[in-house]
């Protein structure tokens, strides 16, 4: 617990603003995403909007040697997909766009699935059930709950719908640094793990596979794909633990529940 940074009311004001701005980036991308654009186009649009329109910093750029503003994970890419001029979106693709933004010294982190053109029903179901699984985890958050409670809620929803949870990657504490303690697993046992306290801030970002949970990393050292080439989906929000529940700091316009 000593390594978990509880945020003050003043710090939460700054984190809330970073989250609000990040939600605006997704609102902008909502108007831009279409078949025929490259994943590098998405990266460039987001970077220009973050820097020029929002006077903010793309926090992922330069982090751990990464060169880009965001990750674009298409179809069987689980996470950390690298934008490329040569990768063009096609009708039927599903893509996760994962973006971080820093403003006022604090970082927000969120990702959203986009469905391009006419998407197959089974692909849409995976996207929808993964979104539901993320919210199952979020709704557990309150003082006195545990990280195991969050993971269990996510795992239960995914598995009862016939999917598997990726275990190599997890949510994380966030604040002045992109990755802080604690690690937030998307599987677990109720009542186990760190007990949540008011002022904790972390991401919940389940990666859910259509087939087996096993993944592998490509030769670029970043891109993680499903081993069986079946589809994967992910959603992510930055969460604050409040006195009696949670606040979603990166809530987007189309989402209606801001606090628990």
Kindly tell me if the per-residue pLDDT of 258 is higher than 80.
Answer: no
Percent of the chain clearing pLDDT 90 (strictly above): 97
Q: What is the pLDDT of residue 188?
A: 97
CB atoms within 10 A of CB 196: 23
**Is the predicted pLDDT of residue 141 greater than 80, yes or no?**
yes
Question: And the tokens for 8?
Answer: 């003050």
What is the H or E stretch that residue 44 is in?
A: helix 39-48
The pLDDT, as a whole number, for residue 1 is 52
Q: What SS3 class is residue 224? A: strand
The confidence score (pLDDT) of residue 260 equals 53
Q: Which residue has the higher pLDDT, 90 or 260?
A: 90
pLDDT reported for residue 172: 98
pLDDT band of residue 67 (cuts 50, 70, 90) is very high
Q: Are 171 and 202 in contact (CB under 8 A)?
A: yes
**Rounded to 5, what percent of the chain is helix, strand, coil?**
30, 25, 45
Provide mean pLDDT across the span 196-225: 97
Per the CB < 8 A criterion, the answer to whether 92 and 16 are in contact is no
pTM for this prediction? 0.96
228-242 pLDDT tens trace: 999 999 999 999 999
Residue 88 pLDDT class (50, 70, 90 cuts): very high
pLDDT value at residue 148: 98
CA angle 54–203–142, rounded 5-degree value: 120
3-state secondary structure of 47: helix
């Amino acid at each position: 617990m000593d390594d978990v940074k509880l945020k003050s009311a003043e710090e939460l004001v700054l984190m809330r603003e970073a989250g609000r701005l990040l939600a605006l980036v997704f609102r902008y991308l909502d108007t831009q995403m279409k078949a025929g654009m490259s994943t590098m186009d998405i990266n460039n649009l987001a970077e220009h909007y973050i820097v020029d329109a929002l006077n903010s910093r793309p926090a992922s750029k330069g982090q751990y040697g990464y060169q880009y503003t965001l990750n674009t994970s298409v179809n069987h890419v689980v996470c950390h997909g690298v934008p490329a001029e040569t990768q063009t979106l096609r009708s039927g693709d599903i893509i996760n766009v994962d973006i971080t933004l820093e403003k006022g010294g604090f970082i927000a982190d969120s990702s959203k699935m986009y469905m391009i053109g006419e998407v197959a029903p089974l692909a849409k179901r995976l996207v929808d059930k993964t979104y539901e699984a993320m919210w199952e985890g979020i709704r557990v958050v309150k003082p006195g709950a545990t990280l195991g409670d969050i993971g269990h809620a996510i795992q239960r929803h995914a598995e009862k719908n016939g999917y598997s949870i990726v275990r190599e990657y997890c949510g994380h504490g966030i604040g002045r640094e992109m990755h802080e303690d604690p690690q937030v697993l998307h599987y677990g046992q109720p009542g186990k793990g760190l007990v949540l306290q008011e002022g904790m801030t972390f991401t919940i970002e389940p990666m859910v596979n259509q087939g087996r949970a096993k993944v592998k990393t490509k030769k670029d050292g970043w891109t993680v794909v499903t081993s069986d080439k079946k589809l994967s989906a992910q959603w992510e929000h930055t969460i604050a633990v409040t006195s009696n529940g949670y606040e979603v700091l990166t809530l987007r316009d189309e989402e209606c529940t801001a606090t628990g």
